[in-house]
Amino acid sequence: MLRRVKRSTTLALVLSPVGVLLLAVVRLLIVSDYDENTALAIVHSGGYVNTLLGSVIPLVPILMPYLALLLLYLGQTVAALLALAATVLISPATVTGTAALSIARHDWDAIGGGDGRRHALLIILAAAFGLLLLAELAGSGLRVSARSVGTAAVVALVPPVVFLYPVTVGNSSTYTGLLTQPWLPAESITLATHRVVTGYVLDSDQDWTEVLLAGNRTVARYRTGQVVARAACQVAGAGQRRPLLPLIAARSRLPACVTAPPP
Amino acid sequence: MKAGLVPAAAYKYMTARETPAICERLHPARLLPRAVTAAGALLSAVALEPAVSGHGWVELAVWLITGWFFLSLARAVLDRFSTYLVVTRWRIFLCSGSGVTWTASLADVKDIRVIRSPAGRIAGFGTLILDPAHVAIDYVPYPEQMYVEMLGLIHPDPPELD
């Protein structure tokens, strides 16, 4: 009805420093198992900037599909399409691309099925939608029409997004695992006492090595001289999923981390 | 336009010394974007029903979002009855049930343009663009008459041309 001819379309809210900072704090608390002292120890050891970037960057693939839906709803069609493309390329999905296609084909068959009354209803609705869209195209142009269709597409995209990129509370979802996973590489650390601990090295100098233990999420300090060996490893449940369209076919395989009781 | 002919919904926002030159509802075509969204959402929800039925809250979410789009359309329909574009000798404003949603002084408007889409020419609406602020008012009914009347208010004494 009323608009600026030249208007800014910045996503100020999503990209504002306050929003990014809040995201970083929330994720830091999740990684620290909701313990403020551990969170502060991580920030102290890793540095503020590293912690901020480290905690936010891994959230991008998780939030991307939902950001795409939000952008579509807000009428930012081009930004939403870019977010959807990024989702397909980087967000870890619950199934592979081939399996997703197979499920889509099965769902398409289900959508095309049903009795004559359902088909008639679909035809009537499609005709009404088509006529309204044509009128809008002729009256308001492609940009406004694309925005209207994009907003309506949220309904069609909710089921596949929820199925492929579920965020659930508890341990049932890969996304929960990704959220609780620190941004540092997991390492198996062998000590001089022949004990092996699994954790994330927050800081290390010639005197001390600070480790966020993977098991109970507490910060342990070892004398650097006591650390005999360090090797990157794969924590169970982390990094198991791939995006729908992975650009790199090969997967790096790390040895599984040793689960040891806390000291 | 006589003050008595101005709807109460618009008149209550005018001062005693203001005389309305134009007071019009916006064209019903402004409901089209929301209608397209609602129709598209309903089509998607009905089409997806066999695929999402039995999936608990996913099915609920699909229908809730569709319902939200229809509520939004209903609100726009109701809004249309109380939304007016009013032009007086010193200002132009849009008012609706929620108040005066936009206003501009006519002294700040140096020029005005009118644009009509193909459907606008058939259905009788257009877009007025107020310069130099580059503010566009879409779905204006009788756009040519509006343009001429507003131009007359902006430039009451145009320079004589040879």
Angle at A36 between CA A30 and CA A40, to 5 degrees: 100
Instruction: Write out the two tokens for A236.
Output: 């169970």
> What one-letter code names the amino acid at B141?
P
CA A205 → CA A202, A218, A250, B88, distances in Å? 11, 19, 34, 75
Using pLDDT thresholds of 50, 70 and 90, give the confidence band for residue A260.
Answer: low
List all residues of chain A from 171 to 200 with a beta carbon under 8 Å from chain B. none
pLDDT tens-digit series, residues A114-170: 788 888 999 999 999 999 999 888 888 888 899 999 999 999 999 999 888 887 655
* Long-range contact set of residues A162-170: C-beta below 8 Å, sequence gap at least 24: A162/B58, A162/B61, A163/A94, A163/A103, A163/B58, A164/A65, A164/A93, A164/A94, A164/A95, A164/A100, A164/A244, A165/A62, A165/A65, A165/A66, A165/A87, A165/A91, A165/A92, A165/A93, A165/A94, A166/A94, A167/A62, A167/A66
Cis ω before B132 (30° cut-off from 0): yes
Q: Distance (Å, rounded) from C-alpha A62 to C-alpha A55?
A: 12
The residue ranges of DSSP E strands in B1-160, in sequence order, are 20-25, 84-88, 91-96, 99-105, 111-115, 125-131, 135-141
Query: What DSSP assignment string belongs to A128-145?
Result: HHHHHHHHHHHHHHHHHH
Considering CB atoms only, which of B26, B35, B47 is closest to A122? Answer: B47
State the pLDDT at residue B40: 96
pLDDT of the residue at B39? 96
Q: Chain B contact for A123, CB < 8 A?
A: no
Q: What's the gap in Å between the CA of A105 and the closest CA on chain B? A: 11
Using a CB–CB cutoff of 8 Å, tell me whether A253 touches chain B: no
pLDDT at residue A127 in the model: 96
DSSP state of B28: G
Dihedral angle of Cα A75, A77, A83, A88, to the nearest 10 degrees: 120
Are B41 and A114 a contacting pair at CB < 8 A? no
Question: What would the mean pLDDT of A6-21 be, rounded to a whole number?
Answer: 62
* pLDDT tens track for B41-79: 999 999 998 888 887 888 999 999 999 999 999 999 988
The rounded Cα A247 to chain-centroid distance in angstroms is 17
Give A56 or B94, the one with higher predicted confidence. B94
The predicted pLDDT at position A70 comes to 93
Written in H, E and C, the secondary structure of A58-116 is CHHHHHHHHHHHHHHHCCCHHHHHHHHHHHHHHCECCCCHHHHHHHHHHHHHHHHCCCH
State the pLDDT at residue A249: 66
Domain range annotation of chain A: 90-176, 181-244+253-263
The answer, for A6 touching chain B at a CB cutoff of 8 Å, is yes
- For A156, counting Cβ atoms within 10 Å of its Cβ (0-12 exposed, 13-18 middle, 19+ buried), the class is middle
pLDDT-based confidence at residue A85 (cuts at 50, 70, 90): very high
- Could you give the CA distance from residue A176 to residue A62 in angstroms, rounded to a whole number? 10
Counting Cα atoms < 13 Å in the Cβ hemisphere of A170 gives 3
Enumerate the residues of chain A whose CB falls inside 8 A of the CB of residue B116. Answer: none
- List the single residue in A with minimal CA-CA distance to B43: A125
Q: Which of B24, B25, B27, B32 to mutate to test the interface with A (most CBs of A within 10 A)?
A: B32
B82 — pLDDT class (breaks 50, 70, 90): confident
**Residue among A114, A149, A156 minimizing CB distance to B48:** A156
Hey, are the CB atoms on A2 and B32 less than 8 Å from each other? no
Amino acid B66: pLDDT:
96
Nearest CA in chain B to A129: B39
The reply to whether A117 touches chain B by the CB within 8 Å rule is no
Interface check A153 vs B, CB under 8 A: yes
- Which one-letter DSSP state was computed for residue B106? G
Task: Assign A12 a pLDDT band (cuts: 50, 70, 90).
Answer: low
CB contact under 8 A, B51 and A144: no
| pLDDT band, very low/low/confident/very high, at A215 (cuts 50, 70, 90) | confident
Residue of B nearest to A150 (CA): B37
Burial class of residue B56 (count of CB atoms within 10 Å of its CB; 0-12, 13-18, 19+): exposed
Which residue has better confidence, A127 or A238? A127
Give A179 to chain B, closest Cα distance, Å: 22
CATH architecture for residues A181-244+253-263: Roll (2.30)
Would you state the pLDDT for residue B64? 95
Residue B88: is its pLDDT beyond 60? yes
